[in-house]
Structure 1
Amino acid sequence: MKNRIIYRILSIDKNVKLLIVIEENCMIDEIDKKLKALGIGRFQVMALLQAARHYLLKGDLDKSKSFGLNRAIFYAWAKYYGPHKWPMRLMRVMEELRRKTIRGEKIAECPQGYVKVLGECIAIGPRGYYMIGDQEQLPIDFDKQVNKKIKLVIDPETAWETALEYVSKFPRSILEDPRKFYKFVYEPVRDTFIKDLLVKKRVEPPKHIIEQIKSEEEMYKEFKKKQKSIFDYMRQNQ
């Protein structure tokens, strides 16, 4: 009798868990449809996470907003704005920088008029904000294109605090490298950040990403140790 009762309780528990999963999946599907209808997607997530990245490393909220929007435009300029609206020279420069960044190639020297910020070449406007073409990305532009959109589904302050908390879970070496930031921080949550925030009230880095980062860091430490030992050996035998 006891075994039967325990079995029934376990069965009910499994069914409850299954119902919760089904309800959560249905909720996510509905949220996904709503976000698409409202035009909230990867662009806003990229801008938000890039702004959080800049803020954690350099401070200055206004410039961080400018950086976030600038980087979101940079990575999606062809899709959102179209190359036909850009001067040919600028289009070639931006495309080359974009390709190098995605390939993980180091940019030894920035083109004239650009400065290196967090591993990427960016133009600085007359008011000190980041710029693409002849247009500065101002904090108010971030509020219009990112916060105003996000506000349709959630408090922008909540989204900002969540972005800061999420990005801060990654080591500085990841945040300072644009390729690693894209791969480890942005890419895993680009389609789920807002949905997780709405459903789960939090956003966590996937476990396999954290494990991969730790593994790469350990490999790098081992490499540096071996490199140091080789240099020591060479000095001793000179």
Structure 2
Amino acid sequence: MTLLDVRDLRITFGRRTKVVAVDGVSLSVAPDETVGLVGESGSGKTTVARAVVGLVRPDSGAIVLDGQPLGRIGRRSAAAHRAVQMVFQDPRSSLNPRMTVAAVIDEVWRTHPVTAPEGDRTAALHGLLDDVGLDASVARQRPSELSGGQCQRVSIARALAAKPRLLVCDEAVSALDVSVQAQVLRLLVDLREKHHLSMLFISHDLGVVHQIADRIAVMRRGELVEEGPAADVLGAPQHEYTQSLLDAALELNE
């Protein structure tokens, strides 16, 4: 059974001179599964992620969620919009600096009324913050008053407020300190189990991806060069590019 199905995706940029960012990429994500999409900067992985959430329009191919084609974000049904949520790389720039955490979450509930709690919203807000490891007092604060790790937890809480089925994490821990990275990765694993989430986890770092992914897909220059169970890709890579990414991860950890 497949939740997300990306079929022969092709995306180009530019009018006169076309630059191929994604060239014939196909991948899938099953319910309750985390797929790591890995590649160096410029490989096209973030473009795939942005297409999945509707921020980029493909030239050709299809993006299907639970059997239903997904268009750009403005053309998606309310249910499809809620179902796919994104956690961005820079937690500070993805949050409105003028809004308190409570206002950030309330905006989601106003945008998607069906996800809003029927009872006490304050209690629901505090429960959501507790889910991501934040104290209730954070609700009154603004992003500038929080650490990078706290801001990313708020971003995750904002995504969860929409009650998504698929969470797209675009380099969601790369801007964090190593110790904080591990905490946020553990949080994402716990949230996946608690909320029955599927995840498409984008990263340039195989060392990070191996901590969270069930399967790994490797991109290079817009193409998918290797895909399989995480243990197989990490333990016996079939493509030389995957091996080079593994070697780089090992060198960083030495």
Q: Which has the higher helix share?
A: 1
TM-score normalised by structure 2 residue count: 0.26
Q: Which has the higher contact order (CA 8 A, sep 6+)?
A: 2
Q: Which has the larger radius of gyration?
A: 1
Using structure 1 for the length normalisation, give the TM-score.
0.27
